[in-house]
C-alpha cells in the first residue's frame, strides 16, 4: 500500500468512492494551480461541486418529470385509495396495490423514480466528508508540502523529516494533540510502521490552528525554517477567506475565536451553517410543489420535511468540517441555478407526449420479459372480480347470526314502539294460523 492510501478512509464502500473523488479533486487542484497559480482547496471544492451536479442534471430533470407526472396521477391514485378505504383484508390490500401499479404503468413511471438521485447523492456526500476531513491523503501536491512524496519517500530537511528524527517525537505529538484538543484524528504513535508514522504526523499538523503553527518551534526546536517555508502555503490552501480552516468544524472555530476575541473569524465561521440553511430554503422555494389533492396527511408530511431539511443542514454544518459546509452551500447554489432553468424546461414539455413515450418504453420492457398487455389486463380484471365477490359474499353462518340479533332486538322492543306493535301483529297471525 502506498503512503497516500494510509491516511485515506479505508471503508469498503465509501473508501473507493472517496478515493475517486479525491483523485478528481487532486486533478482540479493541480489544473487550477498550474493555470492560475492559485493554491486553494476551497476553489477545488466549488469546481468539483459544479462537476458533480452537472453530471446529476439528467437525473434532476428526470425527477422533475416524475414530480410533474405525479400531479397528473394524483386524482386516479386517490380514487383507488377511496375505493378501498376501510378495507383492511389482505385481498383488498393486494388489489389496491395492483391497481396502483397499473396507474404507474399507464403513465410509464416507476414509484421509485424520485429516489434514484437521493441514492446517488448520499454516498457522494459521505465520501466527500472523508475527503475534506483529510485533504493531504487525497491531494498529493499538498502532501508534498509536508515533505512526504507520493512514493512514500521523505524529503530531507522537511518538517516531517525533522519531527520524525527528534527523540521522543511520539510523546511530543501526543502532547500537541492534547494541548490543541485535536479530536478529529485517529493516530497510533506506537506503530512500528515508519510510513504510517509519517502520515500520522501530517494528520496532526494539518489539523493545527494558526496559533499551533506559530508555537510549533516550542515543541520542536529545529523546525523553524521548515515552518516558515510551509506556513504561507497552508494559509493559501487550507483556509477559506484566509481565516477559516476548512478541515475544522465551524463550532470549534467559533469556540476558539470567541476565547481569543477574534470576532471576524467567529462571524465568518457562523456564516457557513447560516448560508447552508438559507440556500437550502431557497432550493425548496424553487422546487415545484407536489399536488397532494385532499390528502391532508401527505401535505403535513411534505410541510414538515420542507421545514426539517434546512434545519438539518444548519445542524450538520456546525459539526462537520467547514469544507463540507462550503460544498453544501455551493451545491445548493448550483442546484438553485439548475432548478431555475429546469422549471422553465418542464413548463414547456408536452405531458401527453412524455406519457406516450414512457408507456412505449414500459411496453418494450415488458415484452422483453415475455409479458403481454392482454395478460396484464386479464390479471387485473380477474383480481378485481375476485375481490368484489369476496367483499359481497356473506356466509350462511353470518346471515343466521344477523337474523338472531334482529329477533332478539325485536323481542326486547319497548311497549308502544313500532317493533312492539309488529310483535303483536305477528303473535295474532300465529294464533290464527294454529286454529
Instruction: Tell me the per-residue pLDDT of 175-200, one tens digit each, with 9 for 90 and over.
Output: 999 998 887 777 888 888 888 888 88
Q: Are 163 and 198 in contact (CB under 8 A)?
A: no
pLDDT average, residue stretch 241-250: 82
Asked if the model's pLDDT at residue 328 lies above 50, the reply is: yes
pLDDT average, residue stretch 2-20: 67
pLDDT average, residue stretch 233-259: 84
The pLDDT tens digits of the residues spanning 335-384 come to 888 888 887 877 777 767 777 777 777 677 766 766 555 555 555 454 44
Lowest mean pLDDT among 313-317, 329-333, 384-388: 384-388
Q: Are 270 and 278 in contact (CB under 8 A)?
A: no
The pLDDT tens digits of the residues spanning 147-174 come to 887 777 888 989 999 999 999 999 999 9
- CA distances, 421 to each of 391, 412, 432 (Å): 36, 12, 17
Q: What is the largest CA-CA distance in the chain?
A: 130
Strands (E), 272-424: none
How far apart CA 61 and CA 134 sit, in angstroms, is: 34
Using a pLDDT cut of 70, give the percent of the chain over it.
75
pLDDT average, residue stretch 279-297: 69
Q: Are 122 and 331 in contact (CB under 8 A)?
A: no
How far apart CA 248 and CA 201 sit, in angstroms, is: 17
Amino acid at each position: 500500500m502506498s503512503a497516500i492510501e494510509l491516511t485515506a478512509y479505508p471503508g469498503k464502500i465509501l473508501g473507493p468512492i472517496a478515493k475517486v473523488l479525491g483523485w478528481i479533486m487532486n486533478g482540479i487542484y493541480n489544473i487550477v494551480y498550474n493555470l492560475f497559480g492559485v493554491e486553494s482547496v476551497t476553489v477545488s471544492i466549488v469546481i468539483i461541486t459544479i462537476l458533480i451536479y452537472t453530471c446529476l442534471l439528467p437525473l434532476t430533470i428526470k425527477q422533475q418529470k416524475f414530480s410533474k407526472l405525479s400531479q397528473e396521477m394524483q386524482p386516479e391514485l386517490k380514487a383507488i385509495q377511496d375505493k378501498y378505504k376501510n378495507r383492511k383484508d389482505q385481498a383488498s390490500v393486494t388489489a389496491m396495490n395492483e391497481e396502483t401499479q397499473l396507474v404507474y404503468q399507464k403513465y410509464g413511471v416507476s414509484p421509485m423514480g424520485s429516489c434514484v438521485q437521493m441514492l446517488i447523492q448520499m454516498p457522494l456526500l459521505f465520501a466527500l466528508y472523508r475527503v475534506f476531513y483529510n485533504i493531504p491523503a487525497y491531494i498529493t501536491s499538498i502532501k508534498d508540502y509536508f515533505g512526504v512524496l507520493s512514493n512514500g519517500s521523505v524529503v530531507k530537511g522537511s518538517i516531517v523529516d525533522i519531527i520524525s528524527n527528534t527523540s521522543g517525537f511520539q510523546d511530543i505529538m501526543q502532547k500537541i494533540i492534547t494541548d490543541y484538543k485535536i479530536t478529529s484524528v485517529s493516530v497510533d504513535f506506537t506503530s512500528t510502521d515508519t510510513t504510517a508514522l509519517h502520515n500520522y504526523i501530517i494528520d496532526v499538523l494539518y489539523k493545527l490552528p494558526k496559533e499551533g503553527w506559530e508555537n510549533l518551534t516550542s515543541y520542536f526546536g529545529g523546525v523553524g525554517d521548515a515552518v516558515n517555508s510551509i506556513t504561507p502555503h497552508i494559509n493559501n490552501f487550507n483556509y477559506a477567506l484566509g481565516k477559516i480552516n476548512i478541515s475544522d468544524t465551524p463550532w470549534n472555530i467559533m469556540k476558539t475565536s470567541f476565547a481569543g476575541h477574534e470576532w471576524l473569524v467567529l462571524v465568518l465561521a457562523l456564516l457557513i451553517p447560516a448560508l447552508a440553511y438559507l440556500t437550502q430554503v431557497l432550493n425548496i422555494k424553487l422546487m415545484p410543489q407536489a399536488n397532494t389533492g385532499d390528502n391532508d396527511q401527505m401535505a403535513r408530511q411534505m410541510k414538515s420535511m420542507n421545514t426539517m431539511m434546512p434545519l438539518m443542514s444548519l445542524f450538520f454544518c456546525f459539526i462537520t468540517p467547514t469544507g463540507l459546509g462550503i460544498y453544501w452551500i455551493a451545491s445548493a447554489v448550483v442546484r438553485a441555478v439548475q432548478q431555475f432553468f429546469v422549471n422553465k424546461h418542464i413548463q414547456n414539455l408536452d405531458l401527453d407526449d412524455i406519457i406516450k413515450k414512457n408507456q412505449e418504453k414500459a411496453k418494450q420492457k415488458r415484452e422483453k420479459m415475455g409479458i403481454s398487455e392482454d395478460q396484464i389486463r386479464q390479471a387485473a380484471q380477474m383480481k378485481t372480480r375476485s375481490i368484489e365477490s369476496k367483499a359481497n359474499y356473506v356466509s350462511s353462518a353470518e346471515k343466521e347470526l344477523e337474523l338472531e340479533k334482529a329477533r332478539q332486538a325485536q323481542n326486547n322492543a319497548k311497549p308502544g314502539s313500532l317493533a312492539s306493535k309488529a310483535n303483536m301483529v305477528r303473535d295474532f297471525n300465529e294464533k290464527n294460523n294454529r286454529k
